[in-house]
């Protein structure tokens, strides 16, 4: 009887441990309507995409990968998945939502408000992310 109870306890502990340590990109990330509905003032032209790519390579590529698939060299060290920016679920987000997430950050994703202080530069990164 004691072995059965111990085995059951060990199994439940293992399940809980996996649940708390498993990486997930599916955690809800609420975005305030004021951001969600923001219109991107930067046209996604060649200049914007070039600037966005430069900033991406400098700030984002190490975790998100060169093509936005969440496979950068630092991704494996994070507690959460970086997500795949090439998937429809990512691309369906508004530009304002992506701006908010980039500017504010959460968990492993740092805030870029001070690292990329020019708002238009963050919008350029949004344009580049949408092009992946």
For 52-99, the pLDDT digits (tens) are 999 999 999 999 999 999 999 999 999 989 999 999 999 999 999 999
Res 26 pLDDT > 80:
no
Please tell me the distance from the alpha carbon of residue 87 to that of residue 70, in angstroms, as a whole number. 11
Could you give the dihedral angle defined by the CA atoms of residues 77, 101, 110 and 84, in that order, rounded to the nearest 10 degrees? 20
pTM of the prediction?
0.80
């Amino acid at each position: 009887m004691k072995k059965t109870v111990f085995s059951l306890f060990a199994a439940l502990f293992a399940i809980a441990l996996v649940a708390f340590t498993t990486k997930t990109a599916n955690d809800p990330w609420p975005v305030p309507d004021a951001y969600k509905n923001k219109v991107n003032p930067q046209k996604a032209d060649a200049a914007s995409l070039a600037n966005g790519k430069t900033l991406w390579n400098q700030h984002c590529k190490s975790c998100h990968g060169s093509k936005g698939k969440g496979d950068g060299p630092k991704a494996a060290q994070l507690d959460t998945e970086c997500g795949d920016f090439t998937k429809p679920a990512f691309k369906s987000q508004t530009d304002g939502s992506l701006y908010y997430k980039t500017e504010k950050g959460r968990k492993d994703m740092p805030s870029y408000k001070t690292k990329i202080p020019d708002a238009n530069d963050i919008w350029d990164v949004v344009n580049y992310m949408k092009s992946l």
